[in-house]
Amino acid sequence: MALLELRNVHTYYGNIHALKGISFSVERGEIVTLIGSNGAGKSTTLRTISGLLTPRQGEVLLEGQRIDHLPPHEIVARGVLQSPEGRRIFPRLTVRENLEMGAYQRKDKEGIQQDMERVFALFPRLKERLNQKGGTLSGGEQQMLAIGRALMGRPRVLLLDEPSMGLAPVLVEQIFDIIQEINGQGTTILLVEQNARLALSIAHRGYVLETGRIVLSGTGKELANNPSVKAAYLGEHA
């Protein structure tokens, strides 16, 4: 049984049909990436999984249990956590307070402290900035904080939406190394990323979205070598 599965999901914004029958799965321990151009439906897919949007048709399942009509906080409680596009950290709260917000549904103080130490091991910069307000951090530090905050909820599935957006190339590489490390520690990841080359280089499998439909799927390597993917998303032409 897949850890996360979407079956024939149709999601709308008002009258706009944004997702047109999407079906895919994420197995436990995988990094799966969704690639596609702007407006293809990648972020809409993550918002649908998170419960921020409710599909009009289809099912979202976590370990075989439907979650598509649960409110977002219940989906979080079941272990689906998101580091959103644009980071969305709390600018007036300190780094510590932002991380504590990620664990707001938890009562296990000892476990919360252990997870905070895990976040600091992944992102030593955050420990240095512990009492600094989130809004005063650099873009890269804010991205680290957004991922760290999601990890504080002990995700069974971590949804990452455009983690490289707006970052300098050297920081992008660092963030992607850490994403692989998080996965290596046992966290399943669904990654939405504009940088298709980088996403496919670390993904076990991937799906290509075009105008709300999945048009291609395969291993990260297969998609990276696919001529149409190369032309459309990797800037390579035959």
pLDDT of residue 135: 83
Encode pLDDT of 95-138 as tens digits: 999 998 888 777 888 888 888 999 999 999 899 988 989 889 88
Residue 238, pLDDT > 60, answer no
What is the pTM assigned to this prediction? 0.91
Q: Which residue type is seen at 146? A: A
* 40 in Cβ contact with 63 (< 8 Å): no
User: Could you tell me the two tokens for 14?
Assistant: 């008002």
What are the CA-CA distances from residue 195 to residues 16, 46, 68, 119, 207 (Å)?
A: 26, 17, 28, 24, 14
Q: What band does 87 get if pLDDT is binned at 50, 70 and 90?
A: confident
Mean pLDDT value across residues 187-191: 97
Tell me what pLDDT residue 194 has. 87
Determine what percent of the chain is predicted with pLDDT higher than 90: 66
With bands split at pLDDT 50, 70 and 90, how would you rate the model's confidence at 237? low
Contacts of residue 238, Cβ cutoff 8 Å, sequence gap at least 6: 227, 230, 231
Percentage of the chain exceeding pLDDT 70: 99
Q: What is the mean pLDDT of residues 179-207?
A: 94
Q: Which domains does the chain have, with CATH numbers?
A: 1-79+155-238 (3.40.50.300), 89-154 (no CATH)
Residue 108, pLDDT score: 85
